[in-house]
Amino acid sequence: MNALDPAATALRLFDAERGLYFFPIRHHSPACALHLRGALRAIRPAAVLIEGPVDFEPLIGEMLAPGVVPPVAMVALPDNAEKGRGGTTYYPICRHSPEFVAIQQATELGATVRFIDLPSRHAAMLSDRRDRPDQPLLPMRETMFDRGAYVEAMCARTGFRDGLGLWDGLFEARARGTDWRGFFAGVGAYCAALRAASDPDELRTDGTLVREAMMRACIQEAIAARAGPIVIVTGGFHTPALIDAALETSRPAGAAARSNAWLVRYDFRALDRLNGYGAGLPLPGFYERVWERLTGADDDAKSSLTEEILVGFRAHLIEHEPALAFAFPTLRAMIETATRLAELRGLSEPGRTELFDALQSSAIKEEIEVGAHPLLAAFRTFLQGDRLGDLPPGSRLPPLVERARVEARSLGLSLEDAVPKTRELDIYRKPRHGQTSRFLHAMRLVAAPFAERVKGPDRVHGFRADMLMETWTYSWSPAVEAALIERAADGETVRDAAATILIRRLADLETEGQCNNAEAAFNLLAIAFDAGIGSAAEALVAAVSVAVGADTHLLRLANALVIGQALDSRARGMQSDAAISAFAALLPALLDRLARRIAELLPDLAAVNADNAGEAVASLAALTEAMADPDPPFPTQPLRDAVQHLMSAQLDPQLNGAVIAVAAVIGLIDEAEAGRRLSAALAGAFARPGEAIRTLSGVMALAPQLFVNDSSVITAIDNLFGAVDDPGFLALLPQLRMAFAELSPQETDRVAAIVAAAHGAGDHDLALLRQAPSTHVLADHLALSERLRNQWREDGLAAWLEPAP
Amino acid sequence: MEQKNALQLRPSAEARFADELAALKAADQGRRPPGWALSARAVRSFILGDAKLSVRRKFYGDDALVERALVALMSEQGLMLVGEPGTAKSMLSELLAAAISGSSMLVVQGSTGVTEDHVRYGWNYALLIAEGPTPRALVPSPVMEAMRLGRVVRIEELTRCPPEIQDVLISVLSEKMMTVPELGESASVYAAPGFSVIGTANLRDRGVHEMSSALKRRFNFETVLPLTDPALEIELIRQEVGKRLGQADISVNFPDEVTDLLVTTFQDLRRGQTKDNVPLSKPSAVMSTAEAVNIAHAAALEAAFLGTGDVGGAHIGRQLHGVIVKDNVDDVKKVRAYVDHIVKERARRSKVWSDFLGAVKAMKDEG
pLDDT in tens, B315-344: 888 888 777 765 567 777 778 788 887 888
Q: Which long-range contacts (CB under 8 A, 24 or more apart) does A741-748 make?
A: A742/A700, A742/A701, A742/A704, A743/A700, A743/A704, A743/A708, A747/A704, A747/A705, A747/A708
What's the rounded mean pLDDT across residues B246-260?
A: 85
pLDDT digits (tens, 9 = 90+) for A296-311: 855 556 778 899 999 9
Could A333 and B40 be called an inter-chain contact, meaning their C-beta atoms sit closer than 8 Å? no
What's the rounded mean pLDDT across residues A400-422?
A: 84
Length of chain A (residues): 805
Q: Which of A340, A365, A368 is opposite residue B74, by nearest beta carbon? A: A340
Length of chain B (residues): 367
Q: Which residue of B has its CA nearest to A357?
A: B68
Q: Which of A6-20, A31-45, B115-129 has the lowest mean pLDDT?
A: A6-20
Q: Which residues fall within 8 angstroms of residue B178, CB to CB, at 6 or more apart? A: B120, B121, B143, B144, B147, B171, B172, B188, B189
Q: Does A770 score more than 80 pLDDT?
A: no
Q: Which of A337, A353, A365 is opposite residue B221, by nearest beta carbon? A: A365
Q: What is the 3-class SS of A529-579, one letter each residue?
A: HHCCCHHHHHHHHHHHHHHHHHCCCHHHHHHHHHHHHHHHHHHHHCCCCHH
Q: Across the A/B interface, how many CB contacts are shorter than 8 Å? A: 63
- What confidence score (pLDDT) does residue A84 get? 45
- What confidence score (pLDDT) does residue B68 get? 93
Q: Which of A336, A357, A370 is opposite residue B75, by nearest beta carbon? A: A336
Q: Does A127 score more than 70 pLDDT?
A: no
Residue A289 phi, psi (nearest 5) = -60, -40
C-beta neighbour count of A647 within 10 angstroms: 15
- What confidence score (pLDDT) does residue A4 get? 52
- What confidence score (pLDDT) does residue A490 get? 74
Q: Which residue of A has its CA nearest to B217?
A: A365
Mean pLDDT for all residues in chain A: 82
Instruction: Give the separation between CA A120 and CA A116, rounded to whole angstroms.
Output: 11
Instruction: Give the separation between CA A705 and CA A702, rounded to whole angstroms.
Output: 9
Q: Which residue of B has its CA nearest to A355?
A: B68
Distance of CA A63 to the CA centre of its chain: 30
Which residues of chain B are within 8 Å of residue A365 when distances are taken between CB atoms?
213, 216-217, 219, 221
- What confidence score (pLDDT) does residue B194 get? 92
The closest of A775, A768, A689 to A729, measured between CA atoms, is: A689
Q: Does A223 score more than 50 pLDDT?
A: yes
Q: Which of A333, A344, A367 is opposite residue B75, by nearest beta carbon? A: A333
What's the rounded mean pLDDT across residues A35-58?
A: 93
Distance from CA of A278 to the nearest CA of B (A): 24
State the distance between the two ends of chain B, measured CA to CA, in whole angstroms: 46
Q: Does A2 score more than 60 pLDDT?
A: no
Instruction: Give the separation between CA A443 and CA A455, rounded to whole angstroms.
Output: 16
- What confidence score (pLDDT) does residue A3 get? 46
Instruction: Provide the pLDDT confidence category of residue B126 given band limits of 50, 70 and 90.
Output: very high
R_g of chain B, CA atoms, integer Å: 23
- What confidence score (pLDDT) does residue A371 get? 62
C-beta neighbour count of A386 within 10 angstroms: 11
Strand partners, B273: B279
Q: Determine the residue type at B163.
A: P
Q: Does B111 score more than 60 pLDDT?
A: yes
C-beta neighbour count of A169 within 10 angstroms: 22
The closest of A487, A586, A574, A488 to A536, measured between CA atoms, is: A586
Distance from CA of B302 to the nearest CA of A (A): 36
Q: Which of B71, B72, B223 is opposite residue A368, by nearest beta carbon? A: B223
Helices H / strands E in chain B, number of each:
17, 9
Q: Which of A519-523, A623-627, A706-710, B237-241 has the lowest mean pLDDT?
A: A706-710
Residues of chain A whose C-beta is under 8 A from some C-beta in B?
A: 159, 161, 327, 329-330, 333, 336-337, 340-341, 344-345, 353, 357, 360-362, 364-370
Q: Which of B41, B82, B213 is opposite residue A367, by nearest beta carbon? A: B82
Instruction: Give the separation between CA A659 and CA A432, rounded to whole angstroms.
Output: 45
Could B71 and A341 be called an inter-chain contact, meaning their C-beta atoms sit closer than 8 Å? yes
- What confidence score (pLDDT) does residue A463 get? 57
**Torsional class of A278: left (φ above 0), alpha (ψ -120 to 50), beta (otherwise):** left
- What confidence score (pLDDT) does residue A1 get? 37
Could A361 and B223 be called an inter-chain contact, meaning their C-beta atoms sit closer than 8 Å? no
pLDDT digits (tens, 9 = 90+) for A468-503: 788 899 988 777 887 887 777 677 788 888 888 888
- Scored b (16 or more CB within 10 A) or e, B105-126 reads bbbbebeeebeeebbbbbeeee
Could B217 and A329 be called an inter-chain contact, meaning their C-beta atoms sit closer than 8 Å? yes
A711 CB burial (10 A radius; 0-12, 13-18, 19+): middle
What's the rounded mean pLDDT across residues A315-322?
A: 90
- What confidence score (pLDDT) does residue B3 get? 47
Q: Does A85 score more than 60 pLDDT?
A: no
Instruction: Provide the pLDDT confidence category of residue B140 given band limits of 50, 70 and 90.
Output: very high
Are A81 and A398 contacting, i.e. CB atoms less than 8 angstroms apart?
A: no
C-beta neighbour count of B88 within 10 angstroms: 22
Q: Does B253 score more than 90 pLDDT?
A: no
Tell whether B68 is within 8 A of chain A (Cβ): yes
Could B77 and A360 be called an inter-chain contact, meaning their C-beta atoms sit closer than 8 Å? no
Predicted ipTM beyond 0.85: no
Q: Which residues fall within 8 angstroms of residue A477, CB to CB, at 6 or more apart? A: A418, A449
Helix (H) or strand (E) holding A744: none
- What confidence score (pLDDT) does residue B197 get? 94
What's the rounded mean pLDDT across residues A603-614?
A: 82
Q: Which of A267-281, A715-729, B2-16, B192-206 has the lowest mean pLDDT?
A: B2-16
Q: Which of A426-440, A726-740, B7-21 has the lowest mean pLDDT?
A: A726-740
What's the rounded mean pLDDT across residues A78-91?
A: 62
Measure Cα distances from A765 to A356, A740, A746, A770 in Å: 72, 21, 18, 9
The closest of A5, A52, A59 to A260, measured between CA atoms, is: A59
Tell whether B220 is within 8 A of chain A (Cβ): yes
Best of B41, B67, B235, B282 to mutate (most A CBs within 10 Å, chain A): B67
Q: Does A22 score more than 90 pLDDT?
A: yes
Tell whether B82 is within 8 A of chain A (Cβ): yes
For chain B, what percent of residues have pLDDT higher than 70?
A: 93
Could B64 and A161 be called an inter-chain contact, meaning their C-beta atoms sit closer than 8 Å? yes
What's the rounded mean pLDDT across residues B189-200?
A: 92
Q: Determine the residue type at A557.
A: L
- What confidence score (pLDDT) does residue B150 get? 93
Could B44 and A329 be called an inter-chain contact, meaning their C-beta atoms sit closer than 8 Å? no
- What confidence score (pLDDT) does residue B367 get? 46
- What confidence score (pLDDT) does residue B5 get? 45
Q: Which of B48, B71, B213 is opposite residue A361, by nearest beta carbon? A: B71
Which residues of chain B are within 8 Å of residue A333 when distances are taken between CB atoms?
75-77, 220
- What confidence score (pLDDT) does residue A429 get? 81
For the ranges A44-53, A252-261, B267-276, the maximum mean pLDDT occurs at: A44-53
- SS3 assignment, position A334: helix
For chain A, what percent of residues have pLDDT higher than 90?
A: 15
What's the rounded mean pLDDT across residues A231-239?
A: 91
What's the rounded mean pLDDT across residues B224-247?
A: 82
Q: Does A131 score more than 70 pLDDT?
A: no
For chain A, what percent of residues have pLDDT higher than 70?
A: 91
Are B183 and B134 contacting, i.e. CB atoms less than 8 angstroms apart?
A: yes
Name the DSSP letter for residue A397. Answer: -
Distance from CA of A343 to the nearest CA of B (A): 10
Which residues of chain B are within 8 Å of residue A353 when distances are taken between CB atoms?
64
Q: Which of A333, A341, A369 is opposite residue B77, by nearest beta carbon? A: A333
Helices (H), A345-413: 352-363, 374-384, 399-410
Distance from CA of B106 to the nearest CA of A (A): 24
pLDDT digits (tens, 9 = 90+) for A141-187: 677 787 788 888 888 888 788 888 899 988 998 888 888 998 999 99
**Cα torsion through A749, A754, A756, A759, rounded to 10:** -170
Which residues of chain B are within 8 Å of residue A340 when distances are taken between CB atoms?
40, 71, 74-75
Q: Does A713 score more than 70 pLDDT?
A: yes
Q: Which long-range contacts (CB under 8 A, 24 or more apart) does B112-115 make?
A: B112/B160, B112/B161, B112/B162, B114/B160, B114/B161, B114/B162, B114/B165, B115/B165
Q: Which residue of B has its CA nearest to A364?
A: B221
Helices H / strands E in chain A, number of each:
36, 11
- Scored b (16 or more CB within 10 A) or e, B224-239 reads bbbbeeeeebbbbbbe
Q: Which residue of B has its CA nearest to A344?
A: B41
Q: Does A670 score more than 50 pLDDT?
A: yes
Could A357 and B225 be called an inter-chain contact, meaning their C-beta atoms sit closer than 8 Å? no
Q: Quick one: chain B helix, strand, coil %, rounded to 5?
A: 55, 10, 35
